[in-house]
Chains A and B, each alone.
Chain A
Amino acid sequence: MLFRIDAKPNRLTAWTLSWFLFASGIALYFYTSNKRHIENPEDKVIPNLTQLSQGVTDAFLKPDTEEAAPEGLENASLPKKFLTSMLWTDTVASAKRFAWSMLLLIPAVVLGLHMGMFPVFGQFFLRFILFFDKIIALSVLPILFIAFGIDELAKIMLIVIGVTPTIILDTFNLTKSVPSEQVVKGFTLGAQDFGVAYSIVLKQILPRVLNSIRLNLKSIMLFLFAGEMIASQDGLAFRIALLRRHMGMNVIIPYVLWVALLLFLVDLTMRVTNRKLHPWFREA
């Protein structure tokens, strides 16, 4: 059965198969944790359930420092506690940077579109961006810190350098791949250059552009985290890096899972929005 191309597992089998690795991963984790705790009850490397839930409570319901806590927090409701918690403040800080970098992708898409539509534009930028694309963003991090200081701008520039060339080139290629018939057709229907570029070509490639951005979410997060880990006073990655110093595994693990959940949700939202906005789009 295992190596049969035409195998058709039934629903229960499919369900079991797809969750098996999750279940065994969790089981293996707690088994190892348990074993280590028998040897050393204070073990922090693989926290057990009690330690983990302590970590989750600390991260999800308590502010970063005692001073940051507003009056009467002890008796506040759970959502209120969550909104002042360490995890939430870190999430907001990272989300702001993330949002800025997403905003900066809009000019990248416009640039790619113009490069693909207007040959003069294309000639002007293409070689330079191809070159730029080959630069390993992390390798210019020191330059960025020197040039822009270690505040927000440097971190956002890191993401820009890391991701925008890809998005520009993707948009450029997508623009180029629109059949020339469509452009000619646009002119014969009375459209002008910008009309063809925006109401014919851009509309057609937009779902693919969004997909390309979606596939690059991980790189965006990667550069965001790199920036935060190296130089930051807040943010999810800053916290993970900080906790590493005192072996706060019981908080690091929930943080990692939280980031994965967030990324999954962003991805899902983009996919659903894309489908809603472009009902005509069939994924090739």
Chain B
Amino acid sequence: MPELIQLENVGVIYNVHGHAPKQVLQGLNLTIQPGEFVAVCGQTGCGKSTMLRLILGAERPSSGRVLIEGCERPRPDRHRGYVPQKYSLFPDKTVLDNITFGPETEEFGLIGRLRPGFRRRREELREKAFGYLRQMGLQQSDAHKYPDQLSGGMQQRVAIAQALIMRPAILLMDEAFSALDPGTRADMQRLVRTLWQETGTTFLFVTHNIPEAVYLGSRIVVLGKDSPESSSRVLVDMEVPESARTASGYPNREELERLTRVIEDAALGGRLELEMAEFGG
């Protein structure tokens, strides 16, 4: 049985016009099992989004291999869902159409929508989408709004529904909540944690926020550099034992302190500056 996600000695070099090539990641090794919730932290610019895009298949490594269930899949596909921080919804489609876009496209393609069965099937898909809307805590009346008529938190809820309706094996979220106010952010964290527990989907969640990582992750990975000149690799990789969590979902006091200390130690060693401030919980 191959691993769900395996990064083997991955390196990424960017060639920026007029500059020396920049090695962003080097010798990155990471294995992720089905059902894990991996929270990825690290200083800004350390390559978290790059790693996510590698796993998505939106980008190819300059060296090493990225394996999904044992194969290289160098193109994004329906098995890997994606919730970016911005531009996650299609601005020209209503909330409902945003959510049904995936299943409709998959079943009918670009021109199959002219087929006779389409209308009936679309009604079914809409019913299903309403189910997801409710699960995400949205109102029926939001269904026919356009994305720019929604608040940031609502937009991210729709984006999660849009990704989940495809039942992806992996859901990749890139700083999905960092533009939200603390209260909304806490709500969204609870929602994501519940969804993870209920669906068993593997989550990869990039965040700057240590408490968020500690609350959400079943495992925490910190990316960073050993020195300012070097490239990023995995500095810390640790499990968060579920047994250490209290009823609120947070690890108990000692565990919380231990985790935070380990991350901050790594942060100091690798000159990370993780933001502690903006946690809302």
Q: What is the total number of residues of chain A having a CB less than 8 Å from a CB of chain B?
A: 24
Are A189 and B101 within 8 A (Cβ)? yes
Question: 8 Å CB contacts to A: which residues of B145-192?
Answer: 146-148, 162-163, 166, 168
Q: Do the beta carbons of B110 and A194 come within 8 Å of each other?
A: yes
Question: Any chain A CB within 8 A of the CB of B72?
Answer: no
Q: In the complex, what residues of A have CB within 8 A of residue B87's CB?
A: 179, 181-182, 185
Chain B residues lying within 8 Å of A203, measured Cβ to Cβ, are: 90, 92-93
Query: Could you tell me if A180 and B148 are in contact, using CB atoms closer than 8 angstroms?
Result: no
Check if A4 is an interface residue, CB within 8 A of chain B: no
Q: Is A198 an interface residue (CB 8 A)?
A: yes
What is the bound-complex CA distance between A273 and B87, given in angstroms?
Answer: 26
- Is the Cβ of A187 less than 8 Å from the Cβ of B146? no
Task: Report the Cα distance A278→B105, complex, angstroms.
Answer: 21
Please tell me if A200 contacts chain B, counting CB pairs below 8 Å: yes
| B58 beta carbon closer than 8 Å to chain A | yes
B179 to chain A, nearest CB (A): 14
Residues of B within 8 A of A199 (CB): 101, 105, 110
A10 within 8 A of B: no
- Cβ-defined contact, A185 with B88, below 8 A: yes
A72 interfacial by beta-carbon distance below 8 Å = no
Closest-CB distance, A110 to chain B (whole angstroms): 14
Residues from chain A with Cβ under 8 Å of B105 in the complex: 189-191, 195, 199
User: By the criterion CB–CB under 8 Å, are A185 and B82 in contact?
Assistant: yes
B217 at the interface (CB under 8 A from A): no
Question: Chain B 75-101, CB within 8 Å of chain A: the 1/0 string?
Answer: 111101110101110111100000001
Query: Any chain A CB within 8 A of the CB of B102?
Result: yes
Within 8 A of A (CB), among B87-138: 87-88, 90-93, 101-103, 105-106, 109-110
- The answer on a CB contact under 8 Å between B81 and A280 is no
A279 touches B (CB below 8 Å): yes
Chain B interface residues toward A at CB < 8 A: 53, 56, 58, 75-78, 80-82, 84, 86-88, 90-93, 101-103, 105-106, 109-110, 146-148, 162-163, 166, 168
A232 at the B interface (CB under 8 A): no
The answer to whether A188 and B92 have CB atoms under 8 Å apart is no
Query: Residues on A close to B: CB < 8 A?
Result: 179-182, 184-185, 187-192, 194-195, 198-200, 203-204, 278-282
**Which of chain B's residues have a CB closer than 8 A to the CB of A195?**
105, 109-110
Identify which of B56, B86, B88, B110 gathers the most chain A CB atoms within 10 Å of its CB: B110
Are the C-beta atoms of A188 and B86 separated by less than 8 Å?
no
> Contact partner of B81 among A179, A188, A278, CB < 8 A?
A188
A281 CB contacts on chain B under 8 angstroms: 92
B92 to chain A: which residues have CB within 8 Å? 203-204, 278, 280-281
- Which of B86, B91, B110, B146 contacts A204 (CB under 8 A)? B91
A198/B110 contact (C-beta < 8 A), A181-B87, A188-B78, A189-B78 known = yes
In Å, the complex CA distance between A192 and B102 comes to: 11
Q: Which residues of A contact B53 (CB under 8 A)?
A: 184
For the complex of A and B, 5 pairs with smallest distance between CB atoms: A189-B102, A190-B106, A187-B76, A179-B87, A190-B78
Contact B146 A185 (CB under 8 A): no
B75 (CB) vs chain A CBs: closest residue: A187
**Chain A residues within 8 Å of B80, by CB:** 188
A199-B101 Cα distance, complex, nearest whole Å: 10
Task: Output the residue of B56, B76, B86, B92 with the most chain A CB within 10 A.
Answer: B92
Residues from chain A with a CB closer than 8 A to the CB of B106 are 189-190
Contacts A190-B105, A198-B110, A282-B148; is A181 near B168 (CB within 8 Å)? no
